[in-house]
Structure 1
């Protein structure tokens, strides 16, 4: 690791950013698509297996992103002091949410007494005693609190990126895009 602040994001950081964004979109889509099927239809459970598998993948890639972030620091933040502080707060909360979402989802299934199939390759067995009250609490956190907090942060994140790109014209968005010059 170097002591100087880099001028742009490391390609690995950019790649993990977009991979995690795509995985969150796929996790959301899979849980929404499963609602279109009757409870007896095997496709309903197929979409849920995909949802759980993607969620576990999100957890793995977010941990990797946190690790590589320690090795490859972010470029210097643009904007005034309050903008930099807000950016750091939103980013920190994003990491908390990206970890909390799959962890609460997995814990919810555990306390519901359900094994979790991962990409149809293996099962994660139930490791705790079934407790439907805890499972319901975790479901509320997972589906309502954390998901809605994620959406608020996403709007702030996108609004900030667009403000920098179109309002300030300072290159912030170009630094994170996977294509083009930064």
Structure 2
């Protein structure tokens, strides 16, 4: 039973290099997310639909760039870390199921935003523009909580669960992606 209790995580644990790498990748992603969120909020506060459309195009450009940096990070987690941890915790329930669900939800919101903003119609309404920004806002909130869970629970848990050989394999695989 002690082993299960130890799965709660401990953010003060010193992380091995590959887990530190994943954690450090969150910082620039967070900075981009916050910048884009502030832009999204300013769009929602704008009253002029033409200015909103112009700002929405800027938001879209920023999200395209953000996704191009988020995807490789997510692939390291989904393709390498999550399967390694799932060997100990299971994949269908528990922390890995939550992590994968949050990845899917955030990606779905970002993908839908990009699809809806790919060709804005001339007659798009202010409400439709706001609905588009809310897709990003939802992804922002999901990822904000997700990063915190990884840093405070998943990464410390992985540090405790994975063997030295697994950590070495994780390091090689993460640094090759």
TM-score (norm 1): 0.50
| Kept after mapping to 2: 8 A contact 1:24/1:58 | yes
Contact 1:56 1:102 in 2 (8 A): no
For structure 1, list consecutive stretches of 5 or more residues without a partner in the other structure: 1-5, 115-131, 173-182
- Pair 1:157–1:89, CA change in 2 (3 A): farther
CA RMSD of aligned residues (A): 4.7
- Change in 2 beyond 3 A, CA 1:23/1:94: farther
Q: Which residue of 2 aligns with 1:36?
A: 45
Aligned length: 141
Aligned to 1:51: 59
Unmatched 5+ stretches in structure 2: 1-14, 161-177
The corresponding residue for 2:81 is 74
The one of the two structures with greater contact order (alpha-carbon pairs below 8 A, sep at least 6) is 2
Partners of 1:104 and 1:142 within 8 A in 2: no
Q: Residue 120 of structure 1 aligns with which residue?
A: none
Equivalent positions of 1:127-166 (< 5 A) are 143=134, 147-148=137-138, 151=141, 154-155=144-145, 158=148, 161=151
In structure 1, the residue matched to 2:164 is: none
Q: 1:11 to 1:153 in 2, by over 3 A?
A: closer
TM-score (norm. length: structure 2): 0.51
